[in-house]
Amino acid sequence: MKKLSLFIISILMIGLLAACGTATEEGNETSGSEGESKKVLKMATSADYPPFEYIDTAKGSDIIGFDIDLVNSLAEKTGYEVEVQDMDFNSLIPALQAKQIDLVLAGMTPTPERAENVDFTDIYYTANHMIVSLKDNEVKSVEELDGKTVGVQLGSIQEEKAAEIAEQVSLKVENRNKISELIQELKSGRIDAAIIEDTVAAGYFEKDDQLAGFTLESSEEAGSAIAFQKGSEYTEEFNTALNEMKENGELDELIIKWFGGKE
């Protein structure tokens, strides 16, 4: 009797394990309409960065923006399917290093320090640093930052920019996880200014007429590139597709769609 029930339990366990096996194998692929399956790449972004990536709460909970359109076009060309997830900007590179995700599009600038840990494609868009403040308490030059508190996004190149300015004037630097938090802190007076990229700041100016800003003169540009795991097989494929989009005008179309047409 004992032997029989042990036998039944083993059979059940084998069946269970087999079922789990098939489930995980299927997890990585999706079937297209013709039944062909595409490999799913996990992309992460920090959806606090309109028009690059954001959630338009009025329209739903999907992440939309320039980077999302771009990755979808690139995936189409390279034959992959892309699944997008949201995380703090500061967690993106560690997630690539831990191989939890395959790629990052987050308006991310390919700095030499980052390039030690991840691989980048060519640059697909360039922007400049901007000092954003409130019209009522406007900061019009770097000198005027003296004695002030400036906010930056944690882990961004704007954090380095602030450290650089702090060598010229006396500056207190505060960091926050999200750009929207920087704007809130500015409005509540906890910080006097924030360093944000011009294209992103432009979106906030449109919605909020209390904000003012100026572009940092002769500041080095903040370009965006796609990041992959170090040694990734996908970098080359995506770079080729990206350059194809640069040459055939598709990239310009996306730039006009998301950054153009703003007065």
Residues that bind ligand ARG (CB under 6 A): 46, 48-49, 52-53, 89, 106-109, 153, 156-157, 179, 197, 222
Closest separation between CB of residue 5 and ligand ARG, Å?
57
Report the residue number, 95 or 106, with the smaller CB distance to ligand ARG.
106
User: Are 222 and 197 in contact, with CB atoms under 8 Å apart?
Assistant: yes
Closest separation between CB of residue 140 and ligand ARG, Å?
23
Report the residue number, 67 or 250, with the smaller CB distance to ligand ARG.
67
Q: ω before 51 within 30° of 0 (cis)?
A: yes
Report the residue number, 68 or 108, with the smaller CB distance to ligand ARG.
108
Report the residue number, 121 or 153, with the smaller CB distance to ligand ARG.
153
Over the range 88-108, which residues count as b (16 or more CB within 10 Å of their CB) and which as e? bbebbbebbeeeebbbbbbbb
Kindly write down the DSSP assignment for every residue of 55-81, as one continuous string.
E-TTT-S-EESHHHHHHHHHHHHHTEE
Strand bridging mode 171-176 / 118-127: unpaired
93-to-29, 62, 104, 179, 190 alpha-carbon distances in Å: 24, 22, 8, 18, 29
**Among residues 111, 90, 112, 110, which one has the least CA distance to residue 44?**
90
Three-state DSSP class for 193?
A: strand
48-49 sheet: strands from edge to edge: 48-49, 53-55, 63-64
Three-state DSSP class for 136?
A: helix
Report the residue number, 10 or 128, with the smaller CB distance to ligand ARG.
128
Q: How far apart are CA 22 and CA 45, in angstroms?
A: 30
Q: How far apart are CA 119 and CA 115, in angstroms?
A: 6
68 C-beta neighbours (distance < 10 Å), count:
21
Closest separation between CB of residue 92 and ligand ARG, Å?
8
Closest separation between CB of residue 117 and ligand ARG, Å?
13
